[in-house]
Amino acid sequence: MAFLKSLSFLRLAIATVIMFTCLLISPMNAHAESLSFSHAQLKGRDFSGRDLVGSGFANANMEGANFENADVRGTVFSASILRRANLKGANFSGGLLDQADFAKADLSDALLVETILLRSTFDFVNIDGADFTDAIMDGAQRKWLCAKAKGTNSKTGIDTRDSLECG
């Protein structure tokens, strides 16, 4: 058991270093709208289909916002409110989504590959077909999400339960 805990900590540490390194030195997509919305009131805003790679939404209130099919890879959503948000099909890969509130959000078919989700809440969230491959999250979060996980991601072909390593 101690070995598994140290392995999880090592995996978390490596993922954190890689993610922050990528955020600091990787060039942004030339077509991306890399913007800062940190600490903003964005209730109900429509970001659907937008290319927002590397943008910042830390501590923002995005209750009921629409990010359907948005490209938000490498974006920071730390400590943000995403209650009742439409996140269907959004690509959050490589993002920082720690301490975010996803209550009643629709994360169906979303890509959360290699994201950091520590201390985020997922009450009554829809994760059908979401891909959490190599996401870093608390054990309790994983257990909670495994209890409701079903479906296969349409883009990656990965089963949600497999991506969460539900067993």
pLDDT score recorded for residue 147: 96
Of 156, 121, 155, the closest CA to residue 137 belongs to 121
Cα–Cα distance, 2 to 46 (Å, whole number): 45
Cα–Cα distance, 64 to 48 (Å, whole number): 12
Tell me the torsion sign for CA atoms 146, 149, 150, 153: negative
- pTM metric for this prediction: 0.81
Distance of CA 2 to the CA centre of its chain: 28
Where do the structural domains in the chain lie, given as residue ranges?
1-167
3-state secondary structure 24-48: HHCCCCCCCCCCECCCCECCCCECC
Cα–Cα distance, 35 to 38 (Å, whole number): 9
Residues 6+ apart with CB under 8 A from 134: 15, 113, 114
From residue 141, alpha-carbon distances to 45, 62, 77, 148, 156 in Å are 27, 21, 17, 11, 22
Which parts of the chain register pLDDT below 70?
A: 1-34
Cα–Cα distance, 86 to 49 (Å, whole number): 12
Cα–Cα distance, 141 to 120 (Å, whole number): 8
Cα–Cα distance, 161 to 25 (Å, whole number): 33
Q: What pLDDT, in 10s, does the model give residues 73-102? A: 999 999 999 999 999 999 999 999 999 999
Class of domain 1-167: mainly beta
pLDDT score recorded for residue 122: 96
pLDDT score recorded for residue 33: 56
pLDDT score recorded for residue 11: 54
